[in-house]
Amino acid sequence: MSTISRNNRNLLYPGLLWFIVFFLLPLSIIIIYSVTTDYLLAGRELDFTFRNFIDIFAKRHYLIILLRTLKISLLTTVFSILFSYPVAYYLAKKARHGRFFIIMIMVPFWINYLIRTFAWKLLLSENGVFNSILLFLRIIDEPLKLLYTQTAVTLGLIYAYTPMMVLPLYAVLTKVDDSLIEASMDLGASRFRAFFDVTFKLSLTGIFAGTLLVFIPVLGSFAIPAILGGTDSVLIGNIIENQFSKVGNWNFGSAFTIAIAVMSIAMILLYSRIFGIESIYKNRGIQ
């Protein structure tokens, strides 16, 4: 038994070293930067302060960007769920070759992220595909201004991250036993009630996992807002990227990064409590 335990510990060390070097160490540096006013390697004494965090919420400009980011992130997550659930349900329960179609959904990920984003720029421009179709169908009389708006950013984010919602939903729905639906209907439940009480509630863990895969990356997204958005579509990710790469204020950029991380954790905990994810895991015997 001791030999097996020793071998297990030996297998743990490489992963633990990787975790320390590539996660804990960078995170520690970011935390130190966020509460100081100078560079770590500047050779001067570091002055600890919370001014960087105060500026985020004290300055109206940054507060507006923060609220805008939360709004677009929530919209992207909600629409990703609405678009993904029917697709995942059909592929898991109705389609004969669900796995094949899942692979097809993932094909766009084989193409460079920036190329796909620039493709949306062509679609949404005044002479792009969307406006051309609407003009041809005589739905509009003049081209709509879609590009460089929050709508364009939201559409681009939904397109980019919806597959990340489909995957966990599909994985959970394939494990839902159809006999539970039949038993529920035999006991007098309508088809809708049986779906809601059985399938939907058992798929909440998939929605929760998909939300993590969509909401958190969207919070820090900067490439899509930079390409498809305008001045009123700047998100927190753009501010952080600008502070590190252009302004050179690593301290303020780090403070923004930590603030977003704390907000993400708080919203995840709130989300899990609202949807009762903890009780679902406990009912399944998962501690």
- Whether the CB-CB separation of 208 and 169 falls below 8 Å is answered with no
What integer pLDDT is reported at residue 73 of this predicted model?
A: 93
Return the biggest CA–CA distance within the chain: 78
Domain residue extents for the chain: 58-283
Fold annotation for 58-283: MetI-like fold (1.10.3720)
Residue 50, both tokens: 């919370």
Half-sphere exposure of 242 (CA within 13 A, CB side): 9
Distances (CA, A) of 188 to 14, 115, 153, 179, 182: 55, 52, 46, 14, 10
277 and 208 in contact (C-beta within 8 Å)?
yes
3-state class of 37 per DSSP? coil
Say what the pLDDT of residue 5 is.
61
Q: What is the pLDDT of residues 30-62, one digit of tens each?
A: 998 898 887 665 556 667 888 888 888 888 899
Q: How far apart are CA 153 and CA 228, in angstroms?
A: 6
Q: 26 is written with which tokens?
A: 């960078």
Per-residue pLDDT averaged across 83-89, rounded?
Answer: 94
- Per the CB < 8 A criterion, the answer to whether 160 and 116 are in contact is yes
Q: Do the beta carbons of residue 124 and residue 130 sit within 8 Å?
A: yes
Torsion of CA 144, 145, 147, 151, to 10 degrees: -90
Most confident of 70-79, 87-96, 138-147: 70-79
Residues pairing with 36 in the sheet: 48
What distance in Å separates the CA atoms of residue 134 and residue 136, rounded to the nearest whole number? Answer: 5
- Lowest-pLDDT choice from 4-8, 15-19, 68-72, 123-127: 4-8
Query: What pTM value is reported for the model?
Result: 0.85
**At residue 282, does pLDDT exceed 70?**
no
Q: Is the model's pLDDT at 269 over the cut of 90?
A: no
Q: Which two tokens stand for residue 217?
A: 């990356």
User: Is 214 buried (19+), middle (13-18) or exposed (0-12) by CB count in 10 A?
Assistant: buried
d(CA 226, CA 229): 6
Report the Cα–Cα distance between both ends of the chain, in Å, rounded: 25
Q: What is the pLDDT of residues 194-250, one digit of tens each?
A: 888 888 988 988 998 899 899 989 998 999 999 999 888 999 999 999 998 888 888
Specify the higher pLDDT residue, 15 or 44: 15
List the Cα angle 135/138/141 in 5-degree steps. 65
